[in-house]
């Protein structure tokens, strides 16, 4: 009975780590996509503190070539570059009310003074 409990606990731990890794990989990809959108879409902006918050969540900087998340970050950059509706899709997915990773982006305070402003947590 004791072995079964240990095996069950170990299995749940492995599943939890795998889910965390997948979530972190997706965050790195979404961050790359949003970063590219903020550079290409004049009405969108990424707050200066967002990159640091993403790095803190991941435990490392996904933009670093040595990061285990760099591959996923780069995948997001590539997806954004291929997106024909980049600005609209980026806002829908990563804007203040985003459907994927909300609050990675906000409206640009320099080009849209009355647009939505938000902070990534």
Establish if 119 belongs to a structural domain: no
Establish if 25 belongs to a structural domain: yes
What pTM value is reported for the model? 0.83
Establish if 118 belongs to a structural domain: no
Establish if 50 belongs to a structural domain: yes
Helices 70-82 + 2-40 axis angle, to 10: 40
Establish if 31 belongs to a structural domain: yes
Establish if 116 belongs to a structural domain: no
Residues 6+ away with beta carbon under 8 Å from 54: 27, 28, 31, 62, 104, 120
Residues of the chain scoring pLDDT < 70 = 1-19
Domain count of the chain?
Answer: 1
Residue 3: per-residue pLDDT: 53
> Residue 21: how many CA atoms within 13 Å on its side-chain side?
7
* Alpha carbons 119 and 46: distance in angstroms, whole number: 9
Residue 113: per-residue pLDDT: 81
């Amino acid at each position: 009975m004791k072995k079964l409990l240990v095996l069950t606990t170990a299995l749940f731990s492995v599943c939890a780590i795998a889910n965390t890794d997948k979530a972190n990989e997706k965050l790195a990809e979404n961050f790359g996509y949003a970063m590219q959108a903020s550079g290409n879409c004049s009405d969108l902006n990424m707050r200066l503190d967002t990159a640091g918050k993403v790095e803190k969540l991941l435990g490392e900087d996904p933009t670093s070539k040595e990061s285990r998340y760099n591959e996923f970050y780069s995948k997001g950059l590539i997806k954004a570059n291929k997106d024909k509706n980049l600005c609209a899709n980026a806002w829908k997915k990563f804007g203040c009310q985003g459907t994927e990773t909300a609050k990675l982006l906000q409206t640009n305070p320099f080009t849209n003074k009355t647009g939505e402003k938000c902070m990534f947590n």
